[in-house]
């Protein structure tokens, strides 16, 4: 593949930052404050006290801090871009350049005190390696986080996290910039594929489990992007406008749940403003919600280029400037030392920052289990990626049981595969999370007019993950005649379809960090192609590889639809095994598929006219507010509030077997308890995903729990759980607590947010919960 092109493309995305004024765009040495007068005492060659593992992380951190100079303290709160690239004219000292890990970030350690460096890699979908492109440096590309969310299987999210944590250690990284959990308020958002959908319970649980999996490998994971970085258009300045109560019940609840599950060592504050104040200097968000209400003990690091001040950022909760290279100025370098000297930032705040960083490094194992480079175990890691893909691909339509393709048995059977580069690999999303996968990565330039809408999307390099669906399908049906056509001529595709027993069309929607898709339709002429092919042969199966929801004007014409998201390094195998029945599909949508954009709270992305008119979105003022009028009722809750029927509802997904969800019993009073039976009523083994929603008095139904079970034909199992009371409550911003209202609540059991098979009414007593 063309390494240089990919490097430049990924790098360009990371560099979508403020244009640095010429006054600061000069070479700046990485200067810190002047050294203290007397040199620090030498540490004895015997293990220092803080290496005593029987002490708590806080005590161990305190012990190091007593030995530390202010100069040293300052080095821990300011990081470097991890590649040697003289961004904005900032030149690194030689000793730093030698140590850069060739990835997202680097914070030097303090060898005198045995403090290891923080070596940081992006890791939304595998250990990202798009930046340095060292020959042979490949990593297993996991499916997109949205696909992992679609498994509704916390154990798989954990396994995926453990897999990237293990690979990261072996590649020499001790911090993973993982844990994206911004809710899909804006399904056109370019990074929807890096997040876990639209529901706070599902997203928080799945992302929290992935973080737990990473950190069990004794490294640090972040959670990001805190908070409401829900669109890429104007992301560095836009002002997300939403009430305190609404975000506590939605976006912040997703973070809160994920923090409880995963206890991430660090929180990455986001680019955007939130209610007029930048997230990385937002006292409400960082000091009040995170550190006070949630008692968070880890540290807050900034997104790359998201710092805009020294005094406000330091006092309002930022603990580490991640990559001063990306910021307009060197906010936590000399400027922080000077602010401390001037008394505008208390010195105690610097030691709080340092304490949070060091205690996290102790707590997560960085001192006791330093990372050691060694080859990755690709075979084991690919198996995790495949399992994830097999459970997260969603069967959306299966007319007349067209799938599985078990009837394709004779050598005369002809399968025509059309489009989507299915002869090369499966699509991946782009940006800082890009993984250069295992195998022979197909070289792809940007596809103007093909898979990419050329006027509205920036150029870049699209990475396809091998193997190809064509090869994987041939492996499932070696006896059949399988042919591939790229789909460039619609008439030719239709005539091939006419003489085929089965047609499988691969449709693609490429999305990336840094820009949003203008709408949810398949780019280029794909809708026309699918309609023409399905008219020619109703036994047409559409496999969609997308970063988010897509619209499907051809849905009535086609026989079957599989939503494969970005399915990763074994995605093609997973797709083929589902098509031929080796795997029974069990994914469920973590995001609503609208019929059209007119059903969304905003018919167009806010700021799109500025972005597409190439008006600079950087400056001192926010060019626009994104007013989240839907409040806490995003996604399926918005559709319920507006009485709208989506194309496919949140939670939807078919199986090759059938399930019955019944015998619902719900108990109220002080706590809401739920019991029900799930039975496989079909002829095949398969996984059902029963979902339970509760509707508070005067409110909208909210997911309060689910159960995904693997059942044999005829097998039934009972499921019981107690609902988290926050999922029933509203947030009272004046009293600063959750309130469960006294009254009757409807509890609904079903196979999706819109297919309810049983309901019960319970009376709940009024109660309050401290955040």
Q: Footprint of ligand BGC on this chain (CB under 6 A)?
A: 14, 104, 122, 177, 224, 303-304, 432
Nearer to ligand BGC, 167 or 390 (CB): 167
Distance of CA 597 to the CA centre of its chain: 22
* 571 in Cβ contact with 143 (< 8 Å): yes
Cis preceding linkage at 227, omega within 30: yes
From the list 580, 581, 588, 755, the residue with the least C-alpha distance to 684 is 581
Nearer to ligand BGC, 279 or 286 (CB): 279
Nearer to ligand BGC, 203 or 574 (CB): 203
CB of 14 to ligand BGC, least distance (A): 5
CB of 623 to ligand BGC, least distance (A): 19
Nearer to ligand BGC, 130 or 208 (CB): 130
Question: Where do the DSSP E strands lie in 133-252?
Answer: 175-177, 220-226, 239-241
CB of 279 to ligand BGC, least distance (A): 12
Roughly what angle, to the nearest 10 degrees, separates helices 57-67 and 347-364?
130
* 264 in Cβ contact with 258 (< 8 Å): yes
Alpha carbon separation from 543 to 551, 648, 673 (Å, rounded):
13, 16, 39
Nearer to ligand BGC, 235 or 702 (CB): 235
From the list 253, 364, 92, the residue with the least C-alpha distance to 631 is 253
**What tokens were used for 173?**
């990284």
Q: Residue 738: phi, psi to the nearest 5?
A: -85, 140
The arrangement of strands across the sheet holding 673-680 comes to 659-667, 673-680, 716-722
CB of 104 to ligand BGC, least distance (A): 4
CB of 161 to ligand BGC, least distance (A): 16
Alpha carbon separation from 607 to 220, 275, 458, 702, 703 (Å, rounded):
35, 17, 16, 30, 31
Nearer to ligand BGC, 303 or 724 (CB): 303
* 350 in Cβ contact with 74 (< 8 Å): yes
Nearer to ligand BGC, 189 or 467 (CB): 189
CB of 616 to ligand BGC, least distance (A): 18
CB of 180 to ligand BGC, least distance (A): 7
Nearer to ligand BGC, 30 or 104 (CB): 104
CB of 719 to ligand BGC, least distance (A): 36
Q: Is the dihedral of CA 372, 378, 380, 382 positive or negative?
A: positive
CB of 61 to ligand BGC, least distance (A): 25
Nearer to ligand BGC, 14 or 211 (CB): 14
From the list 467, 472, 405, 480, the residue with the least C-alpha distance to 440 is 467
CB of 33 to ligand BGC, least distance (A): 27
Nearer to ligand BGC, 79 or 208 (CB): 79
Alpha carbon separation from 495 to 227, 420, 535, 586 (Å, rounded):
50, 18, 10, 34
Nearer to ligand BGC, 458 or 538 (CB): 458
Nearer to ligand BGC, 156 or 177 (CB): 177
CB of 432 to ligand BGC, least distance (A): 4
Distance CA 192, CA 195 (A): 5
CB of 254 to ligand BGC, least distance (A): 16
450-484: buried (b, 16+ CB within 10 Å) or exposed (e) per residue? bbbbeeebeebbbbbbbbbbbbbbbebbeebebeb
State the SS3 of 70-130.
Answer: HHHHHHHCECEECCCCCHHHCCCCHHHHHHCCCCCEEECCEHHHCECCEEEEECCCCCCCC
CB of 330 to ligand BGC, least distance (A): 18
384-420: buried (b, 16+ CB within 10 Å) or exposed (e) per residue? bbbbbbbbbbbbbbbeeebbbbeebeeeebbbbbbbb
* 228 in Cβ contact with 278 (< 8 Å): no
Nearer to ligand BGC, 129 or 526 (CB): 129
């Amino acid at each position: 593949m063309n390494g240089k092109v990919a490097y430049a493309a990924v790098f360009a995305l990371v560099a979508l930052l403020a244009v640095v004024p010429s006054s600061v765009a000069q070479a700046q040495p990485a200067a810190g404050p002047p050294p203290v007068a007397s040199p620090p005492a030498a540490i004895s060659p015997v293990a220092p006290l803080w290496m005593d593992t029987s002490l708590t992380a806080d005590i161990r951190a305190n012990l190091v801090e007593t030995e530390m100079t202010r100069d040293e303290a300052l080095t821990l709160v300011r990081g470097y871009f991890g590649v040697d690239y003289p961004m904005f004219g900032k030149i690194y000292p030689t000793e730093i350049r030698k140590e850069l890990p060739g990835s997202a970030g680097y914070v030097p350690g303090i060898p005198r005190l045995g403090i290891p460096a923080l070596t940081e890699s992006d890791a939304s979908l595998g250990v990202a390696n798009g930046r340095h492109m060292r020959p042979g440096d490949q990593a297993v590309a996991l499916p997109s986080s949205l696909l992992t969310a679609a498994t509704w299987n916390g154990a798989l999210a954990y396994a995926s996290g453990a897999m990237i944590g293990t690979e990261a250690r072996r590649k020499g990284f001790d911090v993973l910039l993982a844990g994206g959990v911004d809710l899909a308020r804006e399904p056109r958002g370019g990074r929807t594929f890096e997040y876990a959908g639209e529901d706070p319970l599902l997203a928080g649980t799945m992302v929290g489990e992935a973080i737990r999996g990473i950190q069990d490998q004794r490294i640090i994971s972040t959670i990001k992007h805190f908070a409401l970085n829900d669109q890429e258009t104007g992301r560095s300045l836009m002002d997300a406008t939403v009430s305190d109560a609404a975000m506590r019940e939605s976006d912040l609840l997703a973070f809160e749940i994920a923090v409880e599950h995963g206890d991430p060592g660090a929180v990455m504050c986001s680019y955007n403003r939130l209610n007029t104040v930048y997230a990385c200097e937002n006292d409400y968000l960082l000091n009040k919600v995170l550190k006070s209400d949630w008692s968070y003990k880890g540290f807050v690091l900034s997104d790359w280029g998201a710092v805009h001040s020294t005094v406000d950022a330091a006092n309002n909760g930022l603990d580490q400037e991640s990559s001063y290279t990306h910021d307009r100025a060197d906010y936590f370098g000399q400027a922080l030392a000077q602010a401390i000297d001037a008394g505008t930032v208390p010195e105690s705040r610097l030691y709080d920052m340092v304490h949070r960083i060091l205690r996290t490094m102790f707590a997560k194992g960085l001192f006791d289990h330093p990372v050691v480079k060694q080859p990755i175990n690709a075979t084991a890691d690919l198996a995790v990626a495949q399992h994830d893909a097999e459970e997260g691909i969603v069967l959306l339509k299966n007319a007349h049981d067209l799938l599985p393709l078990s009837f394709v048995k004779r050598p005369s059977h002809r399968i025509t595969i059309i489009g989507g580069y299915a002869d090369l690999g499966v699509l991946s999303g782009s940006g800082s999370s890009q993984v250069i996968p295992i195998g022979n990565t197909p070289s792809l330039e940007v596809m103007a007019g093909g898979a990419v809408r050329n006027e509205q999307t920036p150029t870049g390099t699209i990475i396809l993950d091998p193997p190809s669906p064509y090869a994987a399908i041939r492996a499932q049906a070696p006896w059949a005649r399988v042919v591939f056509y790229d789909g460039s001529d619609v008439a030719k595709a239709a005539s091939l379809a006419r003489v085929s027993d089965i047609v499988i069309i691969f449709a693609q929607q490429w999305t990336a960090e840094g820009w949003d898709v203008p709408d949810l339709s398949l780019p280029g002429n794909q809708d026309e192609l699918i309609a023409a092919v399905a008219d020619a042969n109703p036994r047409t199966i559409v496999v969609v590889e997308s970063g988010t929801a897509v619209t499907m004007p051809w849905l009535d014409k086609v026989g079957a639809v599989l939503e494969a998201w970005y399915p990763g390094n074994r995605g093609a195998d997973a797709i083929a095994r589902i098509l031929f029945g080796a795997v029974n599909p069990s994914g469920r949508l973590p995001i609503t598929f609208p019929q059209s954009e007119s059903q969304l709270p905003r018919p167009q992305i806010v700021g799109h006219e500025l972005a597409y008119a190439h008006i600079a979105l950087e400056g001192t003022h926010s060019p626009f507010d994104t007013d989240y009028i839907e409040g806490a009722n995003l996604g399926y809750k918005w559709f319920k509030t507006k009485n709208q029927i989506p194309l496919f509802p949140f939670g939807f997904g078919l199986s090759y077997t059938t399930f019955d969800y019944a015998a619902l019993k719900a108990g109220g009073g002080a706590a809401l308890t739920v019991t029900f039976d799930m039975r496989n009523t079909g002829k095949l083994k398969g996984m059902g995903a029963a979902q339970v929603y509760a509707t508070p008095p005067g409110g909208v139904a909210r997911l309060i729990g689910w159960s995904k079970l693997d059942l044999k034909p005829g097998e039934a199992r009972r499921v019981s759980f107690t609902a988290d009371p926050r999922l029933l409550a509203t947030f009272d911003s004046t009293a600063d607590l959750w309130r469960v209202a006294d009254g009757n609540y409807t509890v609904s059991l079903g196979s999706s947010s819109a297919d309810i098979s049983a309901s019960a009414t319970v009376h709940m007593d009024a109660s309050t919960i401290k955040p």
